[in-house]
Structure 1
Amino acid sequence: MCGIAGIFGPKASKEVLSSMLAKQTHRGPDFTGIFVKEAEVALGHNRLSILDLSDAANQPFHSPDGRYTLIFNGEIYNYLEIKRSLSSKYQFITQSDTEVLLFAFQEWGTACLHQLNGMFAFAIWDHQTQKLTAARDRFGVKPLHYSLMEGSLVLSSEITPIWTFGVRKKANKKIWSRFFVQGRYGEEEETFWEDVFQLPAGHWMTWQEGKLTVTPWYDFVTNISRQLEIPQDQQEEYILDLLRDAVKLRFRADVPVGFNLSGGLDSSTLLALVSDLFPQDGAIETFTFVTGDDRYDEILWVKQMLQGRPYPLNSCLLTCDEVPELTAKMSLLQSEPFGGIPTLAYSKVFKRAREKGFLVLLDGQGADEAWAGYDYYLKKESGIVQGTQTSPLKPNALVREFAEMSHQQAYPQPFESKILNLQYRDLFKTKIPRALRFNDRVSMAHSTELREPFLDYRLVEYVFSRPESFKIRDGQQKWLLRKIAGRFLGDQIALAPKRPVQTPQREWLAGPLKDWVYSQLESLCNQTDWFEKDQILKEWEDYLRGNQDNSFYLWQWINTAELMK
């Protein structure tokens, strides 16, 4: 896991590239590598060493014949299998997945993407044809941002380096309006900032002679229609084998591996699988965040799950006093809106993991979307914030002209089933894209790598393709996953209802943080002309009086105030 940056065209410069890399050193503190041909190409890399810790695996990485230069962020989990298939033709000098990726591209071109099981964003420069090829993984676990300026293309893992390149920081009002009116966290290609784009998940792009082309390479809908038909009495074992292999592949690392643990089904199932695969490995440690509030902390559930298992637990405390400073730091790193105080609490997990030398953590992200685990799949809810009785949005606080910029766009519905279309939306348009963005930034802020076994594409595709009865039965969601989990955990955990990950955000904002909140609201109204100040203050006063069913809109305003500074 690393950070990448590149400049292609007449503005390619070692000095500018070095400044860009300096903005994302947290993504890779172990080595900073640069390759530059002035006014032609500049490639840079911030390395976080996970596989093959030697200098031989540093990047930018060059092919033996000098034709290709690669910069790569992520992990190819099945790199050993691909390496074996290439070993008769290529001579490997490292133990890294970077070298495997470069040779795979050299052998198969962009067709190699279909063989990769991993999370990745990479760029390869062909010195012979003067052509850039860049690609992003199926679900967009790893980010890749880009911009065009004065005949040059610039790309990087994060947004801040692009501003360092010289692209001005200017709000994309259409995207911000949709955020406040519809609760949308951006679009597949557009970001919250004008002239800063992201390569969509499952796409590759080329740049040659000043022409940019973006092409989809991952066809999820077609893949769903081509899934193997496993006999019904073998389905459970087949899925369990996929789960085990997904976890096993994500334990490939040359550094210690731990995992993030909550009291929910997904996290518990992950624990069960790790325990099944590595029953006596006391070197594996677990991490969970707490806030000191028994109404929200899941520490008792976590301790119950760990009973009889050899994995030490690290309890990572977030205090109310830390919120203002952490909000400022996280807003700078995220560069776009993020998900509130739970994201700040999550950051304490990665901070502690880094301090203890655990540079890789596993997480249960992705199970709800593939297995139809959200309540609104069965109920008529928006899905923006679960468990609220009132709207999480306050468009009444917006200036009318600004609110009208939020044009409603229908999400694609490629399936006949309503539930499948909701799952598809959450996987590719809403929940997973925003969660992956939050998680990438919050983990990399502390130079740690996050891996999500439930987002193994083989598992997602197969489970998604199953009939509704495999996911929802007798009103029980994620039915087959619960059945599998029950073999390891017992019914008390396997059948427990879904609990959103929460913190005392509502209480803190109205209590010990209220002065800070008010100052943020004042700042927001002074920084933009998007809001009716009297409506902002009216909603705030109403909140202080106890109308605290949700605090989503309040966090939107607080977070925006930081991002506009």
Structure 2
Amino acid sequence: MCGIAGILDLKNEQVSTNRIKKMCDVMHHRGPDDTGYYFNGNIGLGHKRLSIIDLSRGKQPVYNEDKSISIVFNGEIYNYLELITELKENGHIFYTSSDTEVIIHLYEEHGEKCVEYLNGMFSFAIWDSNRKKLFLARDRLGVKPLYYAYKEEKIIFASEIKAILQSEYITAEPNYPAIMDYMTLTYVTGEKTFFKGINKLMPGYILVVENSHVEVKKYWDLELKPDYKHEEQYFIDKLEYLLRDSVKITLRSDVPLGCHLSGGLDSSTVCCLASSILNHPIKTFTGAFSEGSKYDETNYAKCVASYVNAEYFEIYPEVEDFGELLRKLTWYLDEPVVGPGVVPQYFVSKLVSENVKVVLGGQGGDEIFAGYLRHLQFSYEMEMLEHPCRSLFSITRFGGLKGLTLFSALFFLNGTSFEPRNRYFQIISESFITKRELNKLFTEKFYKELGEYDCFKSFCETLENIDRKNYKYIPFYCDIKNYLPGLLQVEDRTSMMNSVESRVPLLDHRIVEFSATIPQELKIKNYTLKYIFKQTIKKWIPTEIYNRKDKKGFPTPTNEWFKKFNQEIRDILLDPVAVERGIYNTEYVEKILKNIRGSKGLHKKFIWKLLCVELWFKVFIDNKDYLEGKTTIETLLNKQSPLTLTA
């Protein structure tokens, strides 16, 4: 896991070595082990290395046999050993045993289609000097980040947005449609970011520059092909093989590794499988809070650790840690994304970094196997539409869903749209903030900046490949395409802040593609979430974990934090700079903050998102001294936190 950066000048002007170095320097945390550069006229590539495979010879850039092709690469190719064997049989000569060199030779064999042979997490840039061609690629699920900008006939790209800003070709300016997305959904749809003019290279996409022509192309998408020909046992057997094989190949490493362990189904599965494959005890890492039992799953994590004879580590962040960390998190994340779980995730990654260099986790299990309550709600409501009598009988028979039944009843009584995409958008957005609240929050100035942008329309564009017959799979497809990349962004940044490589074996593309063939009726059966996954893993994990009914999902005590930091939050959201910015209705913000001690769940989420957006403005837009090079990143990050508790 590393950081990459580069500039291609389409006017054939010399690329500044200093600009590339500054871009890499700001990503030192991504690769503290080594630095490498390639400069050749109008192209410059940079690389910050975190050494995981072939520690002595894996320095980047890496080249082909005649050095006409060079690559900088971030990530891991898990099937690299098998690919090396095939490529050597085809006559390729390797001067390293690293997975990076595999990509170079695959490119020689297959051109842009080389990405189709890779199993792993990756973003990379290849420069083909013979063809004067730049080739950028990002993995299918978006585990590894890659951003780009096209300005003044230059392509500027990097693993993090802050590195693109260091090129000095791009000025940090707010992108209001992205802000609207985040406030509505807690993620940003499509390729846009919070920064005007800087885009994400989307998961499953490549970017090619040749003959001064820039083209962004999709090479992979999730095909929804539910298989109704096979019985339940077929899916269990195949999923068992894929899970085992994925964990096995993600354990390939030349440095020590461990496992995230929350005590939930996903991390427990990865931990138990990894332990069964290794011939020594694995290290596990758990986080919790001391604010109460609802924020503490360590009893379950300890159960799993004992079950596999693991070496167990845990950390309990305190409320003071939250205040001191927020400014740094804002900087390292580049832009607000998802919820407050980023805070404990950072501290667990820090704990990991003190013990190992690589960690496996259970990220993705809820998205691909239907693990969220919103999946059950959507499934139930669609069943009510198709078979109202049968669904009422089922809800009575299986019980335990009274709250869901009442909530869904309002769906009909309120005349809510029956169109599936519209309905799922409502379920997502109104679980975070209602449209009515958004209208009260934003000012006329904000809506003027927003222009004609329509968040719902943008959301629907991400689902354009779902036809009417597959509407049941909207939550599955939507969460993988929209919500999951946000979670993976947090996974990437919190691990990289601590120079740790985080691997996610449940997101092996073979597992995700196979999941797209599993009928929805087997993912949610008898109102049981993740049914087929649970049937597959029950022989691997402790009975106590399999029978858990209290899914928590790394709960964070934001309510307690906000009560303690009430005045400090008010100082951030209502300071003169924020008020002058004029995009929030300050009277409405004041009203919300006055009720913070008794605020309900929606208001806590609302405050969290508002706080993240305002801190983003303060760090990236208002902080002109740093952006203009008048101060250092160390000065910025060591500055007293705006949320330091007062005596």
TM-score norm. by structure 2 comes to 0.82
Q: 2:490 aligns with which of 438, 443, 448?
A: 438
1:175 to 174, 178, 199: 178
Q: Which residue, out of 573, 587, 593, partners 1:521? A: 573
CA distance, structure 1, for counterparts of residue 54 and residue 319 of structure 2:
40
Contact 2:349 2:498 survives alignment (8 Å): yes
How far residue 258 of structure 1 moved from its aligned partner, in angstroms, is: 0.5
Other-structure match for 2:77 = 76
Correspondence 1:502-517 to 2 at 5 A: 502-510=555-563, 512-517=564-569
Shift of 1:539: 1.0
Write the distance in 1 (CA, Å) between the matches of 2:276 and 2:228: 26
2:36 to 10, 28, 33: 33
Equivalent residue runs for 1:79-94 within 5 Å: 79-88=80-89, 89-94=91-96
Q: Aligned pair in 2 of structure 1 residues 543, 37: CA closer, same or farther (>3 Å)? A: same
Please state how far the C-alpha of 1:226 moved relative to its aligned partner. Answer: 9.6
Q: 2:463 aligns with which of 378, 401, 412?
A: 412
User: Counterpart amino acid of 1:101?
Assistant: I
Show the counterpart of 2:5: 5
Structure 1 position 118, deviation (Å): 0.5
Instruction: Provide the C-alpha distance between the structure 2 equivalents of 1:11 and 1:533, rounded to a whole number of angstroms.
Output: 49
The CA deviation at 1:491 is: 4.4
Q: Equivalent residue of 1:204, what SS?
A: strand
Q: Secondary structure at the match of 1:234?
A: helix
Pairing 1:264–2:315 present: no
Per-residue CA shift, 1:39-66, capped at 9, x if unaligned?
Answer: x110100000000001x21111121212
Q: Aligned letter for 1:30?
A: D
Shift, 1:496, TM fit:
2.2
Q: Distance in 2 between matches of 1:265 and 1:386?
A: 27
Does 2:294 correspond to 1:250? Answer: no
Superposition pairs of residues 151-550 of structure 1, within 5 angstroms: 151-166=153-168, 167-180=170-183, 182-221=184-223, 224-225=224-225, 232-278=232-278, 280-282=279-281, 284-293=282-291, 294-356=293-355, 358-379=356-377, 382=426, 384=428, 394-403=438-447, 405=450, 406-407=453-454, 408-409=456-457, 410=460, 411-412=462-463, 414-415=466-467, 416-429=469-482, 431-497=483-549, 498-510=551-563, 512-523=564-575, 525-526=578-579, 528-548=581-601, 550=603
Q: 2:49 corresponds to which residue? A: 47
The structure with higher relative contact order (CA 8 Å, sep 6+) is 2
Q: Which amino acid aligns with 2:310?
A: Y
- TM-score normalized by the length of structure 1: 0.93
What secondary structure is seen at the aligned counterpart in 2 of 1:492?
Answer: helix
1:527, 1:438 → 2: CA distance? 30
| Number of residue pairs aligned between Structure 1 and Structure 2 | 555
1:495 Cα shift?
A: 3.4
Separation in 1 of the partners of 2:603 and 2:341?
14
What secondary structure does 1:42 align onto? strand
Deviations 1:262-306 (A, max 9, x none): 12111222222223323x512x20001122122211111111222
- CA contact under 8 A between 2:222 and 2:477: conserved in structure 1? no
Deviations 1:404-462, CA, capped at 9 Å, x for gaps? 73512124251423331211011012x10110111111111111111111101111111
Other structure's SS at 1:169 match: coil
Partners in 1 of 2:570 and 2:525 — Cα distance? 47
Contact 2:7 2:45 in 1 (8 A): yes
> Which protein has the bigger helix share?
2
Tell me if the contact between 1:323 and 1:341 (Cα under 8 Å) persists in the aligned partners. Answer: no
Moved more, 328-337 or 230-239: 230-239
Cα root mean square deviation, aligned? 2.2
1:531–1:390 distance in 2 versus 1, CA, 3 Å? closer
Whole-angstrom distance in 2 between the partners of 1:49 and 1:22 = 17
**In 1, Cα distance between the equivalents of 2:501 and 2:27?**
14
2:628 counterpart residue number:
none
Gapped runs of 5+ residues in structure 2?
379-423, 619-647
Match of 1:102?
104
Task: Please tell me the residue identity of whatever aligns with 1:270.
Answer: V
* Mapped partners of 1:87, 1:541: distance in 2: 68
Q: Secondary structure in 2 aligned to 1:119?
A: strand
Distance in 2 of aligned mates of 1:366 and 1:467:
18
Q: Structure 1, residues 504-559: CA drift from partner, whole Å, max 9, x if none?
A: 1112112x222221122124733622101111001111223444555111011111
Task: Give the direction of change, closer, same or farther, for the CA distance of 1:452–1:187 in structure 2 (3 Å limit).
Answer: same
Amino acid in the other structure paired with 2:151: M
d(CA) in 1 for partners of 2:436, 2:335:
19
CA contact (8 A) 1:27 1:447 kept: yes
Task: Sort the Cα spacing of 1:345 and 1:385 in 2 relative to 1 into closer, same or farther, 3 A.
Answer: farther
